Amino acid sequence: MTPPPSPTLALVVGRFLPLHLGHTFLLATARQRHDELLVAIRLTSNDMVAGEVRRRWVEQATGRGARVEGILEDRALTAGPEDAARWARRLEGRIPAAWRGHRRVMVAGDAHAAPLAAALGAGFELVDRGKIPVSGTMIRAAPLAHRRFLPPAVQAYLDAHGGQFTALPRGAGARLCLPSCREAIEKSGARSAGSRHRWTGSGRIIPTTRRPHRHRHPAPLRPGNRKKARSCRGCLPSERRWWSVVFFLFTRVTSRCYAALRASALHPA
């Protein structure tokens, strides 16, 4: 009796910056042909769209049941032959234990992921996206000219940001913060120097610093669902740094003047 074929796990790696119809066609093809789907979003320190936003886009495109992970890596997959082995190790650690026995297939729209498939010992499946002649580079260069290639959620994001994908502060795309939190900070006039939240890949937002600042989160957006979280603990560095320097200088000058007056009173000329 012939044993049943083992289930297959489709692996898709990309930046999704932004998600476009070529990506959605690739993800839909992977879901249709294989039993499980793992999507790895490459995060860098200078991304134009926050990783949490891209994760939601990919989850809407894949539907329920797929697993979406974020991998912080500034070096591209095609930067060198040694990068495929490093990516393979990092991607191996993101595969759930329940899927370890599945036969793995790397699904991509071009041949750049073939070395990664070989390093993982997985099959390689090339999907023809010829009917959707668009790429993330083309969209980032001229977003409005390629707006028709964007899903509705990405179009809404583009419209809300003035028709362009503006660059985030360095580090904001990797250490994630909820977009509504970042917008609240920008509206309050706080100086932005990069987000201090990181994304675990499972959707949880974890603060990486305990330095608070003034703006408040709405109740559903408080990190970790803390009951008495009065401020976001570290989405951005403290905006009060400038007056802390002024206060320090003031106290130093005051203390020295007081010391001089006291010395003159104790030892008059």
**How many C-beta atoms surround the C-beta of residue 239 within 10 A?**
17
pLDDT in tens, 166-208: 765 555 554 444 444 444 444 444 333 344 444 344 343 344 4
d(CA 215, CA 100): 43
Q: How many residues does the chain have?
A: 269
Please determine, for residue 216, whether its predicted confidence score (pLDDT) is greater than 60.
Answer: no
| Alpha helices (H) in the chain, listed in sequence order | 21-33, 51-62, 81-92, 114-120, 136-141, 152-160, 179-188, 241-266
104, two tokens? 């793995």
Q: Band the pLDDT of 23: cuts 50, 70, 90.
A: very high
> Is residue 232 within 8 Å of residue 223, measured between CB atoms?
yes
The residue extents of the domains of the chain are: 8-137, 175-238, 244-269
**Which residues on adjacent β-strands are paired with residue 12?**
39
Candidates 18, 13, 259; CA nearest to 138 is 18
**SS3 of residue 199 by DSSP:** strand
> Is residue 232 within 8 Å of residue 182, measured between CB atoms?
no
- The yes/no answer on whether domain 8-137 falls in CATH 3.40.50.620 is yes
Alpha carbon dihedral 198, 204, 208, 212, in 10-degree steps, equals 110
Query: What is the reported pLDDT for 60?
Result: 93
Dihedral sign computed on CA atoms, order 152, 158, 161, 162: negative
pLDDT in tens, 49-76: 988 999 999 999 998 889 999 988 877 7
> Is residue 165 within 8 Å of residue 50, measured between CB atoms?
no
If you search the block for the tokens 């002024």, which residue do you land on? 246
Residues 6+ apart with CB under 8 A from 115: 77, 81, 84
Query: What is the reported pLDDT for 168?
Result: 58
